[in-house]
Structure 1
Amino acid sequence: MLPRIDLPDLLFEVHSWTGFLDAFGHVSERRTRMEGLLVSLVALLVVESRNIGLTPSSRRRTRR
């Protein structure tokens, strides 16, 4: 049986082998000034893969 691993950890591991996240770039084809771009890309892939969408994932949860 394979060990349990979180999806973001798996994506970072695959990126370390293949560099697949480097294929994603800024729409203007310039270098981005954003720090932590790889983390943001992985977060986007996880959100989209779970069909959550960006709006619900960016909302702050409040307890009632």
Structure 2
Amino acid sequence: MPTGTVKFFNDEKGFGFISQEGGDDVFVHFSNIEGTGRRSLVAGQQVEFELGQGHKGVEANNVRPL
């Protein structure tokens, strides 16, 4: 499962980007973050995720903080 670091996440808009280790940045939407309640990420946070095809290209799915 790929891992990476949250590069940016906008709580108000509910999206951001993850810097993949050894790859391009990946889009992440709040609906693809695992958990209950308010789902958010913080810049610099380490995460693992699955890659999937979104409306505009590759995006992170099943995102889990490490």
Place the TM-score, normalised by the shorter chain, in its bin.
under 0.3
Higher-Rg structure is: 1
1 or 2 for the larger relative contact order (CA 8 Å, sep ≥6)?
2
TM-score normalized with structure 1 length:
0.21
Structure number having the greater strand percentage: 2
TM-score normalized with structure 2 length:
0.20
